[in-house]
Amino acid sequence: MEKKQHPSYGMLQLSRSSIGGNGTALFGSSIMHNDVIRLTISNGFMEREDSQDRYYVKTSRKNCIVEVDMSYTQFAEAITSLNMGDGVPVTITNIGGQPVPRCPYEDKQKLMRKEVEDAVDDIARNLIKDAAEVKKLLDEKRVLSKSDREWIVNVLKDAGQRLSSDIPFLNELFQEQMDKTVSEAKGEFESYLQNKMNSIALEALAGRISDDGIRPTVKCESIT
């Protein structure tokens, strides 16, 4: 048997991982997740025996180059959106065998709601300020000049523009965030349901095999 190693040899693993409790936060996601797709890239090596190549992961923890978690939605986006933008957000959990601090959770709906409220308050403050300036001008002058009238018209036009464009735009952004959150929650539920169905199917199959008196043969290879 011939064993080959090289700094360029690597192994990529994709796996499903379940997280208990309240789940975990993921970078670029607005909900907590109990089920994630985990991608691990590790140093690897090759063994050649009987004219066949077999590939293995170096089992030492330090040989984990990087490990990232993704939501099912992020994973689907990653494999269907090649060469688009800067990529898809993932959550780094391990680098070089060392765990990375957990991703902080940020409630996107709460954040977006606050930003909309702040923007509306800012528009309201500007309208009150403009109204006070117009009132002051009207109180101070019995006869308005042409420039005064133009200034008042411009103030009213600016106020109308803010009301007709800024608020609908903010409402659109808020709705987009709501739709994204609902989509993520739906994907999380569907993945949980699929995993549960797979687990039930495997248990039923194992029971059928046992009832029929069939014993599968399992061959294990030890790596030293």
The full set of domain ranges for the chain reads 2-99, 108-203
Cβ-based neighbours of 78, under 8 Å, separated by 6 or more: 70, 87, 88, 90
Q: Mean of the per-residue pLDDT values for the chain?
A: 80
Q: What is the pLDDT of residue 168?
A: 77
One-letter amino acid for residue 99 of the chain: P
Q: What is the pLDDT of residue 92?
A: 96
Q: Which parts of the chain sit beneath pLDDT 50?
A: 216-224
Contact 113/174 with Cβ under 8 angstroms?
Answer: yes
DSSP string for residues in the chain: -EEEEEEEEEEEEEEEEE--TT-B--TT-SS-BSEEEEEEEEEEEEEEETTEEEEEE--SGGGEEEEEEE-HHHHHHHHH-TT-TT----EEEEETTEEPPPPPP--HHHHHHHHHHHHHHHHHHHHHHHHHHHHHHHHH-SS--HHHHHHHHHHHHHHHHIIIIIHHHHHHHHHHHHHHHHHHHHHHHHHHHHHHHHHHHHHHHHHHHHHTT-----------
Q: What is the pLDDT of residue 199?
A: 67
pTM beyond 0.95: the answer is: no
Q: What is the pLDDT of residue 221?
A: 42
Q: What is the pLDDT of residue 21?
A: 82
- What is the tens place of the pLDDT at every residue in 29-49? 888 888 889 999 999 999 888
- CA distances to 35, 36, 37, 130, 149 from 17, rounded to whole Å, are 6, 5, 6, 57, 68
The two structure tokens encoding residue 4: 């080959």
Q: What is the pLDDT of residue 18?
A: 82
d(CA 139, CA 14): 73
Q: Residue for token digits 């009832």?
A: 211
d(CA 187, CA 35): 10
Contact 128/50 with Cβ under 8 angstroms?
Answer: no
Taking residue 68's Cβ as centre, other Cβ atoms within 10 Å add up to 21
